[in-house]
Structure 1
Amino acid sequence: MCGIHGVVSTVAIPSISSELRNALSNRGPDHFGQADRELLISNGDSVIHLNFTSTVLALRGDHVARQPLESPTTGSVLCWNGEAWRIDGQPISRKNDGELILAKLDATGAPSAEPRESQILNTLRSIDGPVAFLYYDAQIRCLYFGRDRLGRRSLLINQAEDGNSISFSSVADVPVTGWEEVQADGIYSLNLESRLATPQGLKLDTRITKHEWLPSGRDHMVSSIGSFNMALPPEEHKLDFDSASVEMLRHRLSESLKLRVLNIPEPPSTLSDSDVRVAILFSGGLDSTVLARLAHDLVPTSQGIDLINVAFENPRQVAVDKTVRRAQPSLQATDVYEACPDRVTGRKAFPQLRSTCPDRHWRFIAVNVPYEEAISHKSRVVSLMYPHNTEMDLSIAFALYFAARGIGHSYTHKCDWEPTPPIITSPARVLLSGLGADELFGGYSRHEVAFKTGGYPRLVEELKLDISRIGQRNLGRDDRIMAHWGKEVRFPYLDEELVRFAISSPVWEKCDFQNQFHPAVIDPAKRILRLLADRLGLEAIAREKKRAIQFGSRTAKMGSRTGKVRGTTTIA
């Protein structure tokens, strides 16, 4: 994880603001670096200034790869934010991925019948993983930039109204306006040799060229990853414990986790008495608990795993609870945090993990956020999630922000819920998120509605639509929120190979809304994942209901007394 920033301008570039420098350094606390270039244009009387800034959170390789990465032979510059898990289909684990990418981009200068730009684009297209990048190729004077196919890392763009400059950043330089998300639908380039004739003379041509991730024309292609299986089921079909797809999912998900939980360096200067390098955003629901269970099979038992569970004091819910107790005086008062749905499911799931994996040092970290504390951080959260600006954005951002901070009461025993456990800060710099499972395996209520209104044809179309728009969702926002704490969030369900497996599988091997499967009622939604959970010894988790994070943690509409504010309402 890194913070990257770049400016291309026809005028001298001032230093970045102290606020932006701090925001970038929060993302990458291990190194701060800058690189400058000046390009003489035409007959030498015109100059383009380029400034690149990178901060580094060192999680790959055996050393801190100081950025911006600069080629000693060509003078090219790479600002790299993210993780290349595979290049040309080959896994990368122990080496620094940014240095490998720059070396491959440099190697494209070798004699070839293929144009240099095509070589550069093919190198960038060969990467699997969550990335955002700025790459200035000094040989052809072109700047390439973009986000991965699923948009898992943040990159913003801001084009000056006067046309004299264009800026890029992992996080917005608030209160500067005009920032927009770079779309995750291709690789973009800016030709720095090109000029526009204006009444004032030649100016920088800020017209941007888009290069597709994959050539168009393939049927039912989604997210530039693979073709969606549109097949409809035969009359007789079932998804149960004997289905081969369940074991295939276990294999794919384990392979995804291997890349994301192994070879993580120990956090520097940790004050913790435990070796904890991985934490899980843990609601106690199906998606996160399966990740925890499979991570246990891979992470050395000498390392602990933290389970971060967040709950909020929502004044609106507190008022509702008081009203209920007034109407029913016999009801006992409940702890505002312990009553949160995600806390309830988290408490249930924790003992199951401990009993299933007794040789693992698990810590359940209960993050309790008072209303006043949440509001005191609101301005920072709003600036981090910018340019997103709705009530729903804020609800989700609050939950992710405090979860990533990782400060909470630490529990280590399955039944011993002490009234005053110690407060700790999780030292883990890698966070695992279960996001993506609902889109891949049919976990949303709208998928069941689609089946009821249009059968399997309508369900197939709805699943295809959901997966195709993952890159248009809010993962850039989530990246900005959580990276603020010097943490990197990783999405095992959104591994490209796992996504290819999911979209190539027929719908009836992922969810089954036609055949009600009983053994103590395993729901049809995400049934493949529920069957896997049961196989892993998580029987109760396999039967848990889905709940959105803003409702499970009770951040939804915290500022509304009536709860009638729409999620799409712009933040006041």
Structure 2
Amino acid sequence: MCGLAGVYAFTQTGSSVLDLLPAAAVAIAHRGPDAEGIFRHKQVGLVHSRLSVIAPSVLANQPFTEANGRYTIILNGEIFNYQKLKQVLNEKGVHFTTASDTEVVLQLYLREGQEFLKKLRGFFALAIYDAADSSLFIARDRFGEKPLLYYKDAEKFLFGSELGALIALGVPRELDYTSLYQYLQLTYVPAPASILAGVKKLLPGHSLYIKNGRVVTSVWYRLPYDAVKASQNQLPYNQQQVKLKQLLYKAVADRLVSDVPVGAFLSGGIDSSIVTAIASEQVPGLQTFSVGFPDHPFFDETAYARLVAKKYNTRHTEVLLTANDLYDNLFGMLGSISEPFADSSALAVYALSRHVGQSFKVFLSGDGADELFGGYNKHLAEFRMLKGGVGATAVSQLEYLWKLLPKSRNSFVSNKVRQLHRFAEGTRLSPQERYWHWATWQHENEAMQLLEPNLRAAASNRLYFARKSRLLDCLNKNHHDLNNVLCADWQLVLANDMLPKIDLMGMANGLEIRSPYLDHRLVKFAFSLPASSKINKAGQKRILVDAFKEMLPHELLIRRKKGFEVPLQEFLATKGQELVQELLSDNLIKAQGIFNSEEVKLLRNSITQKQAGTHQTKLWSLLVFQYWWQKYMA
């Protein structure tokens, strides 16, 4: 696990940016505190910061150049099947000078070209330079677990693990207002766009080949999903469970490959509990950690995590956070993101990673299971919407009531009212617009009202609708069922929210986070299953629960689904209030010229009032953006 950055200069003028490579190294230093390296050859420069997990020897530091001096590689990530690949290459006469997976990847590329990517099991972003023909090959893993952004103009091509590296390399700091508009709705900027005009994110499963000033994009992996074939799957349900268990056991075993100790996050939910149960069979005395909020029982799940820890005799630690603790971690979290990212649970992930990162480098998580098996509330809502019946009709007809009642995410009753209101609103929409409504935190018109009137045309235009249409591609099908929604979540929510969250917060604290549910063989199998295997009237994540229920405490099986959240509203009204008043002040907003000062003022003043529960995420999104703006754009 590491950070990387690089430069390919097309002209003599563009080559001046090579002098900025040390600045790029500083920008990604937190991603790899164990070693740093810079490589320069003619018009190409490569930067690498290393977190030593596999083959910690200095011989495996990067950039790594093979013995003949022709090829140089930088790799961010881990290849779990590198030992098997190495054995095959050994049998073909390849001699290795290190014990690292990086050298295996490079040697595989030398013999098989770009097709070698399909043999890799793991997650990665990589760049390989060929000094003989001055070409550069760049690729990203199947699902986007490891980030990679890039920028191209007539003089140069720049890339890096984080936007901060590209800013250090001098990319134009021009705000993309369409990206800002989507950010205000989603709390993140979905790929391939970024918050800066001209800077793009390489999509998952994509690669780039740069030579002679030309950049060629290729797709080496596509999500193996066919809605019609999945609905016609004839594999008996009990055999589906057997297959799922086999694949998940193998995925966990692969993600325990490490030359340093591996622990596990234990949230108290089904997904991480299953991972912990399996891992504990292979790692005696497995260390597990959970995060809790003792002052806010509605957000605290440590009691459920404790049950699993006890059942599997793990060495368990609870990281308990108060409002003061959240504030103590606030500026570290905000400082670790170089593009606005306002999923508020990132604050808790940062605090937990900061604690864990003091003694660990590798941790397992349960990310991806909700998107594979239908674990979110919107999945249950879609199931009920498609099923219809008296209940769904009644909720829809009572929309006027849900609109009147208090709504927030801070208690069971008010949260339920909020969910019923959103469900009622969704029943009037097409599948595409319903999904967008349930995936966003505020309506398009609400986000538009936050922008200065003279910027609105630049935000909502043909480009906006083209980007939105691409993100909803999974739903633009003749055959529509829950699997289409899961496909959309995989490409939107997982790739742009969940995975960046664990990467950014983990790497900010020298921690690599691995999820077995992201094993591509498991993903392929899950997307081959009919929707009925995932949700029915008995509940959500049906096949996952049925396959592993004997391994879990009964209390976990009967509990209500609870998302991983933080007590955001109280935090903003107390410890975070000073920052709110500073970054969202009338003077700053007006001088900035981006947001509607009257709308921001209403939001700022609402946080201590009863309607704050529906405004907290909007306010948090503005706060995160303002901190980023002050750091990088002011």
* TM beyond 0.5: yes
Q: Could you say which residue in structure 1 is the equivalent of 2:120? A: 127
- The CA deviation at 1:551 is 4.4
Matched, 1:172 2:163: yes
Taking the aligned partners of 1:228 and 1:70, their CA distance within structure 2 comes to: 44
Aligned to 2:349, which of 382, 387, 400?
400
Amino acid at match of 1:284: G
Aligned to 2:77, which of 78, 82, 92?
82
Cα pair 2:272 2:365 within 8 Å, conserved: yes
Cα pair 1:154 1:477 within 8 Å, conserved: no
- The CA deviation at 1:4 is 0.9
Q: Secondary structure at the match of 2:143?
A: coil
Taking the aligned partners of 1:341 and 1:365, their CA distance within structure 2 comes to: 17
Cα pair 2:280 2:286 within 8 Å, conserved: no
After TM superposition, the score normalised by the length of structure 1 is 0.71
Instruction: Write the mapping of 1:204-243 to structure 2, written as runs, cut at 5 A.
Output: 205=213, 207-214=214-221, 223-225=222-224, 227=226, 230-232=229-231, 243=238
Q: Could you say which residue in structure 1 is the equivalent of 2:359? A: 427
Distance 1:238 1:309, change over 3 A: farther
- The CA deviation at 1:122 is 0.6
Aligned to 2:312, which of 357, 367, 374?
357
Distance 1:427 1:84, change over 3 A: same
Matched, 1:182 2:202: yes
- The CA deviation at 1:103 is 1.2
Distance 1:16 1:237, change over 3 A: closer
Amino acid at match of 1:565: H
Distance 1:486 1:166, change over 3 A: same
- The CA deviation at 1:123 is 1.3
Distance 1:550 1:385, change over 3 A: farther
Name the structure with the higher helix share: 2
Distance 1:26 1:534, change over 3 A: same
Aligned to 2:482, which of 445, 451, 459?
459
Q: Secondary structure at the match of 1:134?
A: strand
Matched, 1:382 2:337: no
**Alignment RMSD (CA, Å):** 3.3
Taking the aligned partners of 2:138 and 2:49, their CA distance within structure 1 comes to: 17
Q: Could you say which residue in structure 2 is the equivalent of 1:297? A: 281
Distance 1:555 1:469, change over 3 A: farther
Q: Could you say which residue in structure 1 is the equivalent of 2:472? A: none
Q: Could you say which residue in structure 1 is the equivalent of 2:507? A: 483
Q: Could you say which residue in structure 2 is the equivalent of 1:5? A: 5
Runs of at least 4 residues of structure 1 off by over 6 A? Answer: 87-94, 236-239, 552-558
Distance 1:468 1:365, change over 3 A: same
Cα pair 1:278 1:306 within 8 Å, conserved: no
Q: Could you say which residue in structure 1 is the equivalent of 2:615? A: 565
Aligned to 1:541, which of 546, 556, 561?
556
Distance 1:341 1:60, change over 3 A: farther
- The CA deviation at 1:237 is 12
Q: Could you say which residue in structure 1 is the equivalent of 2:291? A: 309
Cα pair 2:39 2:47 within 8 Å, conserved: yes
Q: How far does the alpha carbon of each residue in 1:506-555 deviate from its partner, in whole angstroms, 9 at most, with x for none?
A: 33233323xx3xxxxxxx10022222342114222122322222248889
Q: How far does the alpha carbon of each residue in 1:247-288 deviate from its partner, in whole angstroms, 9 at most, with x for none?
A: 3222211100101124x223xxxxxxxxxx223232211111
Taking the aligned partners of 1:369 and 1:4, their CA distance within structure 2 comes to: 35
Taking the aligned partners of 1:450 and 1:102, their CA distance within structure 2 comes to: 45
- The CA deviation at 1:385 is 2.6
Distance 1:285 1:341, change over 3 A: farther
Taking the aligned partners of 1:33 and 1:493, their CA distance within structure 2 comes to: 33
Amino acid at match of 2:303: R
Q: Could you say which residue in structure 2 is the equivalent of 1:245? A: 240
Taking the aligned partners of 1:142 and 1:471, their CA distance within structure 2 comes to: 32
- The CA deviation at 1:82 is 0.4
Q: Secondary structure at the match of 1:465?
A: helix
Amino acid at match of 2:546: L
Cα pair 1:398 1:555 within 8 Å, conserved: no
Taking the aligned partners of 1:233 and 1:224, their CA distance within structure 2 comes to: 18
Q: Could you say which residue in structure 1 is the equivalent of 2:100? A: 96
Cα pair 1:285 1:544 within 8 Å, conserved: no
Taking the aligned partners of 1:525 and 1:100, their CA distance within structure 2 comes to: 41
Distance 1:377 1:406, change over 3 A: closer
Q: How far does the alpha carbon of each residue in 1:397-454 deviate from its partner, in whole angstroms, 9 at most, with x for none?
A: 21221111126xxxxxxxxxxxxxxxxx751211222111011111112222222222
Cα pair 1:252 1:497 within 8 Å, conserved: yes
Q: Secondary structure at the match of 2:151?
A: strand
- The CA deviation at 1:125 is 3.3
Cα pair 2:223 2:524 within 8 Å, conserved: no
Q: How many residues align?
A: 451
- What stretches of structure 2 of length at least 5 have no aligned partner? 89-97, 174-195, 388-478, 577-606, 627-634
Instruction: Write the mapping of 1:56-75 to structure 2, written as runs, cut at 5 A.
Output: 56-61=50-55, 63-64=57-58, 65-75=60-70
Amino acid at match of 2:347: F
Q: How far does the alpha carbon of each residue in 1:322-380 deviate from its partner, in whole angstroms, 9 at most, with x for none?
A: xxxxxxxxxxxxx52xx34453x2223313431x224xx41223242534x54455444
Q: How far does the alpha carbon of each residue in 1:102-147 deviate from its partner, in whole angstroms, 9 at most, with x for none?
A: 112223xxxxxxxxxxx42211233232101111122332212132
Cα pair 2:140 2:146 within 8 Å, conserved: yes
Aligned to 1:34, which of 35, 38, 58?
38
Taking the aligned partners of 2:225 and 2:99, their CA distance within structure 1 comes to: 28
Q: Secondary structure at the match of 1:532?
A: helix
Greater displacement, 448-457 / 278-287: 448-457
Distance 1:340 1:464, change over 3 A: same
Distance 1:379 1:21, change over 3 A: farther
- The CA deviation at 1:486 is 1.0
Percent sequence identity over aligned pairs: 22
Q: Could you say which residue in structure 2 is the equivalent of 1:509? A: 533
Q: Secondary structure at the match of 2:565?
A: helix
Amino acid at match of 1:14: D
Taking the aligned partners of 1:66 and 1:148, their CA distance within structure 2 comes to: 21
Cα pair 2:145 2:495 within 8 Å, conserved: no
Cα pair 1:430 1:490 within 8 Å, conserved: yes
Q: Could you say which residue in structure 2 is the equivalent of 1:14? A: 19
Matched, 1:368 2:321: yes
Amino acid at match of 2:203: Q
Distance 1:534 1:98, change over 3 A: same
Q: Secondary structure at the match of 2:45?
A: strand
Q: Could you say which residue in structure 2 is the equivalent of 1:495? A: 519
Q: Could you say which residue in structure 1 is the equivalent of 2:458? A: none
- The CA deviation at 1:483 is 0.6
Cα pair 2:371 2:489 within 8 Å, conserved: yes
Cα pair 1:5 1:169 within 8 Å, conserved: yes
Amino acid at match of 2:101: D
Cα pair 1:386 1:477 within 8 Å, conserved: no
Q: Secondary structure at the match of 2:79?
A: coil
Q: Secondary structure at the match of 1:248?
A: helix
Distance 1:552 1:284, change over 3 A: farther
Taking the aligned partners of 1:22 and 1:458, their CA distance within structure 2 comes to: 47
- The CA deviation at 1:87 is 6.8
Distance 1:351 1:380, change over 3 A: closer
